[in-house]
A and B are shown apart, each in its own frame.
Chain A
Amino acid sequence: MDGVFRAIIVLMIIAFIVPYSSVFEEEYHSKLAHLYTYPWWRILIVLLLLAGASWCPRVGILLALVVFFYLSDMNLLISPLPNL
C-alpha cells in the first residue's frame, strides 16, 4: 500500500513539474506568490522537502525540483531590475 501511495505522489509531482514548475512563463497561483514573502512559509516548504526525502528518495528528489523552481522563480521575479 505504501508503494502505491509513493507512486501516486511521484506521478502527482511529475504532473506538477512538467507543465507548471519547469516553465518560467507559467504563472504561479496568487496565494503561492503572496506566501513567498513570509519566511515561515519558505521554512515550511523546506521542511516538507525533508519529510518527503525521509519518506522516499524519489519523492524527495522530485520535491527538491519543485521547491528549487519555485524559490528561484520567485527570487528572480521579486528582484529589482538593476540587480538582474
Chain B
Amino acid sequence: MSQTLTLPSFLTEQLDSPYRLMFGVILILTIVYAPIISGEIRSFADSVLGRVFGIGMVYAVVQSMGWVYGLLTAMAFLLLLNGAHRTIEGFDGGGTVSEKKTVNKQWFVESILGEKPKKIAVDQIMTSTTKD
C-alpha cells in the first residue's frame, strides 16, 4: 500500500530548467513586492518604450515558456504600470487657468499631507470681512 507522491504538472513539465525556475521566482517576487519597486522603473514601464518592451516581453515569454509564465509576466507588468507615478496636474492642457510655478512654498495642508506640487493654479487668497 505505497502511494507515490506526484508533483504538479507545471513543476514537472514547464519548470524543468533552472533558468525557467529562476525567472518564475523573479516574477513571483516582482508581483509580491510590486509596491516597493522604485518609481524610476515604474515610470520607464509607463513610457512608450517601456510599454512596447513590456508587451513584447509578455509575447516572447508566452511563445518561449508557455502561457502560465506569460500570465505571471503580464501580471507583473500590469502591477508595475498600475503603480506608476503620474505628475499630470488637473489644470494642464490650457484653458482659462494660468499656471504658476511653485517657489518652495507650501500651503499648510500640503505640508501636513507631504504633498509637493510642481505647479499651482492660484497663489493668492481673496478674503473679505464678515458681514451681517
Binding site for B on A (CB under 8 A): 39, 42-43, 46-47, 49-51, 53-54, 57, 60-61, 64, 67-68, 71-72, 75-76, 78-83
Contacts and interface: CB of A to CB of B under 8 A. Distances in A.
A83 B85 contact: yes
A42 B71 contact: no
Contacts of A46: 28, 31-32, 72
A42 B28 CA distance: 9
B34 A60 contact: no
Contacts, number: 59
Interface size class of B (residues with CB under 8 A): 20 to 34
Contacts of A81: 113-115
Contacts of A39: 32-33
Contacts of B34: 71, 75
B79 A64 contact: no
Contacts of B83: 75-76, 79
Nearest to A68: B75
A50 to B, nearest CB: 6
Given A61-B71, A75-B83, A68 B78 contact: yes
Interface string B35-52: 100010000000000000
